[in-house]
Amino acid sequence: MDKKQIAHEIALISAKACCDTNMPEYVNNSGVKGYASDMVKHYLEAYATAEESLNNALPAKKGSIEVLK
């Protein structure tokens, strides 16, 4: 699994967790549009953070597949 895929997985899980904790707001007020908008905002922030963290935590890529220990 490469760094981009790992960053994507982390960002998606993080964004969903953030949005799910605010579910009453979406149900009662902003609905699907608010959920989608917040999901995008949180995903982009989480992706950047995950990518930075992975770059600091993992050695330079040596091949097409990098194995995490």
**Per-residue model confidence as pLDDT tens digits over 9-21:** 999 999 999 999 9
- Tell if the pTM clears 0.85, that is, is over it: no
Closest CA to 3 of 31, 64, 30: 64
Cβ-contact 7, 51 below 8 angstroms: yes
Sign of torsion, CA 33 38 44 46?
Answer: negative
For 49-68, write each residue's pLDDT tens digit: 999 999 888 666 555 555 55
Who contacts 39 (Cβ-Cβ below 8 Å, separation ≥6)?
Answer: 15, 16, 19
Question: Measured between alpha carbons, how far is 35 from 19 in angstroms, rounded to an integer?
Answer: 7
